[in-house]
Amino acid sequence: MDLTPIHPKVTPIYQTSVFKFASLAELEAYYTTPGRGGRYGYSRSEHPNSDELVAEVARLEGAAGGGVATGAGLAGLLAAVLAVCQAGDHILCPAELYGGSVVLLSKELARLGIDTSYVPLAELYDIKKHRRPNTKLVLAEVLSNPLLVMLDGPRLAQACHEEGVLLLIDSSFTSPILTRPLDWGADMVWHSATKYLAGHSDVTAGVVVARDPDIGQRLRRLATNLGLMLAPLDSWLAVRGLKTLRLRMRQHSENALAVAQFLTQHSAVAQVFYPGLPTH
């Protein structure tokens, strides 16, 4: 069926595993043209829905290097780490890091020869003191999960640059509506799109975008080779969520502050962890 004359306002769901080529010349161009020449062949490697999601997140983050959408948030972390690290490299993280990230780094990636160490966030800014000769990457969250310890992003980015170490920021809790880590000088931004980006609790996904196009290409290659690519329907649902992201983040923030202020006055609550409170 030829759908060329049809121009939908919303991108269709390309629920297909493979794409057809009109000629052998087109097939040859797919395999010989850098970037596939804008063509699609196999959804494990690329498909329009994933490309739309990545392009929109990259636009929101100001990421010129592009990136990749993955089947879960932790798959995005895996792609980000393997895009810049190999056996023998070291990663430095805050001790307050999300537990799921710690398990991936310290159990699974350790088996691949990538070592990770942790220091309290307050000490992490002294990269020169805590780095090793083989330190390749620093990973930190804008707001730690779950206690919401706040990161001084520009300070950490400057410290990483001074030591020649790459910086990956987990911005899942803030989204590009509240923070844009690449503006600080971070090299990659990673989201568990399962949370605020998609926003409707019906998608499990990750997105990583990069400043450097070379890193962006490596992210795509890893997603293809490791089978990390987000499926068409999930990509489409995440794009749908992005359309209301700005409005939702405003309301999320208002609601969270109201709940936090209420809980601070409750006799049964000993402590409230929320960045909008003066006691945080």
**HSE, side-chain direction, 13 A CA sphere, residue 51:** 15
The region that residue 199 occupies, defined by phi over 0 for left and psi between -120 and 50 for alpha, beta otherwise, is left
Annotated catalytic residue 98: yes
* The one catalytic residue among 89, 170, 187, 234: 170
CB 14 within 8 A of CB 232: yes
User: Distance between terminal CA atoms of the chain?
Assistant: 59
Neighbours of 165 (CB within 10 A): 19
Cα separation, 53 vs 120, in Å, equals: 34
Nearest CA to 59 out of 253, 201, 246 is that of 246
* The one catalytic residue among 40, 98, 125, 196: 98
The beta-carbon contacts of 95-98 under 8 Å, at least 24 apart in sequence, are 95/119, 95/120, 95/121, 96/120, 96/121, 96/141, 96/144, 96/147, 96/149, 97/139, 97/140, 97/141, 97/144, 98/141, 98/144, 98/145, 98/146, 98/170
Cα separation, 34 vs 17, in Å, equals: 22
β-bridge mates for residue 150, sequence order: 143
* The one catalytic residue among 36, 39, 44, 221: 44
Annotated catalytic residue 44: yes
- Complete DSSP assignment for 120-165: -HHHHT-HHHH--TTEEEEEEESB-TTT-PBP-HHHHHHHHHHHT-
At a CB cut-off of 8 Å and minimum separation 6, what does 251 contact? none
- Provide the annotated active-site residues: 44, 98, 170, 195
